[in-house]
Structure 1
């Protein structure tokens, strides 16, 4: 994927309010994270059930299928990543995932 294609795809992914909220949740909602053992690789992440619970608490009605679609879009744009622990999946914000956008914005804003 070329850099321009990646940037375009990330902006497309970010324009959806539900995906935007999922990103915010994974990045900033630390108090809502599951209490996992210190040895957990995913102690910073959310499982799909937690994401659904938070969205529904906020009045966002979304099905499991639609959530899976949004998570897939975010993973393919490299904004989030998946960690498997046993039978459970946890999603985490990819700190490097928006680096291309950040670099592009810096270039654009300098001109």
Structure 2
């Protein structure tokens, strides 16, 4: 079974947007050093996409501050990125991130 993830955003004041989805459960261990859970990794991926640097960004330089299902990522030499964990199909972890003007 295949799953597709799409997002539609209102571009007013938006300068960056990113979304990430991974197969698994939020509490699953991450395969990436420095990230304890799959949820932490998905948040970082969404933030890096919204920032525009993607995998050119050192993942250990990103600090994520959580407040329930919303979060803020502090990235080096850039304004903060805001994010939200998203509901998805069973067995998928999703997060979206954005930066406003």
In our comparison, the structure showing a higher alpha carbon Rg is 1
User: Whose helix proportion is higher, 1 or 2?
Assistant: 1
Give the TM-score, by structure 2 length: 0.28
Q: Tell me the TM-score normalised to structure 1 length.
A: 0.26
